[in-house]
């Protein structure tokens, strides 16, 4: 969850520099803005064009570039980000940083910045273990510089040992950890997410088009603010976020039981697209086609309404219960009625009609409905909706 975060990414020389491209892609997927800086050694391994195309930002290369200095001076550049990341950092670059050398754009930025710095070193195992590098790393750690990796493994040079660049996913995690907030520390929050699958027979089921993306983003935003998050999810398309207590279920009945087992919580958010009905008695064997071609008839029964049950708890009710109202018409009107019917505190209404393109997409346009009225949010990425919701939850718990 890196929405609204700007990363100044210094790409050093070394064969591992190509992994910086994957890092840029992942950071942007998570909503971060990436401002790339390429050292001259880095430019031997990746081209400025591929870096700037992936970052969707001009790449800064030269300390004495008059055009860039006119637009953004190197001092300003060193301060414009929330975090400076060096990936990969060579032994030479670590030595420069440790001694405070500033003879090119990258090293000057590192000396001038007032922002946290995260280093992802990559070098030959002997260079990493050399007393000079060990000394430099110790000094940099002492100065408060953060490190991710290097990992042990086979190197491009054919040797084996410590010195491999950390994988882009690990670097992203380290970046996320460096931004961890604590607004919701000490709060236990439950999030339901994804679709439910309701069996018809051992091979068939009823489902819906929920990808689980909005629920996963909400859980991630809450983790990022220090909450203890229980993530009860149906079989979703998207992977669950890191740092949650994961409870995987398939059916609505299982989801209801899992929610019951995880209470009490301070806040409960019901983002799952729960099936309203299940087949009364799922067949134990595969339903076969009949000779006469008569299709089978399915007998349905209603599923437990998890949101309504939790909202109407007599004792141990979460302080804040939040539901979603996925509607295809009269969105706000239906959502206002749904909030009252279900008894929850807030409902996030969204238009899931095919023309809105929300279901399965990366954006959402929601209206927050509470007893205070309506708050229409602009169309935002699902990650931004989640950050906004986490902020609102924080404010509500304070009041
Ligand atoms: N919900 C739930 N348990 C159910 C059905 C829905 O917890 N059995 C929750 C959803 O997670 C969501 C909210 O209730 O937060 C509204 O879901 P929605 O499908 O929009 O509402 P329904 O109850 O199905 O109402 P309707 O069919 O009238 O739209």
Residues 298-322 have pLDDT tens digits of: 999 999 999 999 999 999 999 999 9
Residue 70 has pLDDT above 60, yes or no: no
pLDDT, averaged across the chain: 93
**pLDDT above 70 as % of the chain:** 97
249 alpha-carbon distance from chain centroid: 21
* C-alpha torsion sign, points 85, 87, 88, 92: negative
Average pLDDT for 92-102: 96
- What number of other Cβ atoms are within 10 A of residue 269's Cβ? 31
CA 273 to ligand 1 center in whole angstroms: 7
Distance CA 272, CA 193 (A): 4
What is Dmax (Cα atoms) for the chain? 86
Closest CA to 377 of 399, 353, 351: 351
What b/e readout covers 16-31, taking b as 16+ CB neighbours within 10 angstroms?
A: bbebbbebbebbbebb
Q: How confident is the model at residue 41 (pLDDT cuts 50, 70, 90)?
A: very high
Average pLDDT for 346-355: 91
Closest CA to 35 of 53, 13, 58, 17: 58
What is the residue with the minimal CA distance to atom 28 of ligand 1? 338
- Calculate the dihedral angle through the C-alpha atoms of 118, 4, 169, 181, rounding to the nearest 10 degrees: 70
23 lines ligand 1 (CB under 6 A): no
Over the stretch 374-389, which tens digit does the pLDDT of each residue have? 999 998 888 889 989 9
Residue 69 has what pLDDT?
56
DSSP-based three-state secondary structure for 163: strand
Distance CA 387, CA 141 (A): 31
Catalytic: 344?
A: no
φ and ψ of 55, to 5 deg = -80, -15
* Residues belonging to the chain: 399
Average pLDDT for 110-134: 95
User: What is the pTM assigned to this prediction?
Assistant: 0.77
**DSSP string across 341-394:** HHT-SEEEEEE-SGGG--TTSSEE-EEEEETTEEEEPPSEEHHHHHHHHHHHHH
What is the residue with the minimal CA distance to atom 8 of ligand 1? 305
Q: Which of 64-78, 191-205, 239-253, 304-318 has the lowest mean pLDDT?
A: 64-78
DSSP-based three-state secondary structure for 46: coil
Pull the structure tokens for residue 98.
């440790």
Residue 62 has what pLDDT?
77
Distance CA 332, CA 293 (A): 44
Residue 333 has what pLDDT?
96
303 lines ligand 1 (CB under 6 A): yes
275 lines ligand 1 (CB under 6 A): no
CA 48 to ligand 1 center in whole angstroms: 49
For the chain, list the domains and their CATH numbers.
Answer: 6-178 (3.40.50.1950), 188-398 (3.40.50.10300)
Distance CA 139, CA 204 (A): 61
11 lines ligand 1 (CB under 6 A): no
Residue 66 has what pLDDT?
54
326 lines ligand 1 (CB under 6 A): yes
Residue 270 has pLDDT above 90, yes or no: yes
Residue 67 has what pLDDT?
60
Q: How confident is the model at residue 214 (pLDDT cuts 50, 70, 90)?
A: very high
Tell me the residue ranges of DSSP E strands in 139-203: 146-147, 151-154, 160-164, 188-193, 198-201
Count Cα atoms within 13 angstroms, Cβ side, for 310.
Answer: 31
Q: 232 with 258: CB under 8 angstroms?
A: yes
Residue 121 has what pLDDT?
97
CA 325 to ligand 1 center in whole angstroms: 7
Distance CA 296, CA 289 (A): 8
CA 230 to ligand 1 center in whole angstroms: 20
Residue 72 has pLDDT above 70, yes or no: no
Q: How confident is the model at residue 113 (pLDDT cuts 50, 70, 90)?
A: very high
Closest CA to 235 of 219, 246, 215, 251: 251
Average pLDDT for 196-222: 95
């Amino acid at each position: 969850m890196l929405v609204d975060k700007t990363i100044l990414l210094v790409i050093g020389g070394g064969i591992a520099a190509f992994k910086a491209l994957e890092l840029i892609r992942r950071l942007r997927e998570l909503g971060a803005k990436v401002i790339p800086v390429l050292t001259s050694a880095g430019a031997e391994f990746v081209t400025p064009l591929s870096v700037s195309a992936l970052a969707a930002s001009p790449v800064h290369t030269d300390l004495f570039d008059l055009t860039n200095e006119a637009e953004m001076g190197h001092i300003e550049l060193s301060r414009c980000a929330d975090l400076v990341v060096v990936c990969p950092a060579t032994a030479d670059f670590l030595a420069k940083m440790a001694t405070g050398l500033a003879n090119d754009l990258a090293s000057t930025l590192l000396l001038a910045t007032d922002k946290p710095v995260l280093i992802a070193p990559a070098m030959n195992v002997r260079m990493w273990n050399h007393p000079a590098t060990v000394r430099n790393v110790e000094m940099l750690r002492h100065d408060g510089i953060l490190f991710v990796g290097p990992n042990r493994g086979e190197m491009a040079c054919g040797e084996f040992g410590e010195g491999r660049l950390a994988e882009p996913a690990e670097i992203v995690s380290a970046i996320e950890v460096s931004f961890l907030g604590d607004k919701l520390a000490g709060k236990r929050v439950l999030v339901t997410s994804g679709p439910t699958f309701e069996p018809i027979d051992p091979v068939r089921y009823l489902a819906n088009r929920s990808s689980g993306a909005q629920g996963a983003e909400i859980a991630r935003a809450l983790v990022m603010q220090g909450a203890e998050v229980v993530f009860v999810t149906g079989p979703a398309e998207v992977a669950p976020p890191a740092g949650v207590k994961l409870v995987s279920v398939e059916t609505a009945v299982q989801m209801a039981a899992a929610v019951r087992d995880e209470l009490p919580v301070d806040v409960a958010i019901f983002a799952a697209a729960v099936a309203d009905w299940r087949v009364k008695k799922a067949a134990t064997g595969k339903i076969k086609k009949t000779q006469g071609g008569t299709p089978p008839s399915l007998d349905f029964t209603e599923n437990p309404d998890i949101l309504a049950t939790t909202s109407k708890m007599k004792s141990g009710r979460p302080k804040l219960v939040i539901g979603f109202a996925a509607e295809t018409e009269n969105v706000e009107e239906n959502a206002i009625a749904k909030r009252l019917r279900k008894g929850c505190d807030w409902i996030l209404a969204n238009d899931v009609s095919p023309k809105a393109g929300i279901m399965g997409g990366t954006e959402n346009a929601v209206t927050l409905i509470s007893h205070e009225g309506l708050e229409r949010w602009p169309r935002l990425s699902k990650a931004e909706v989640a950050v906004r919701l986490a902020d609102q939850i924080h404010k509500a718990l304070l009041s």
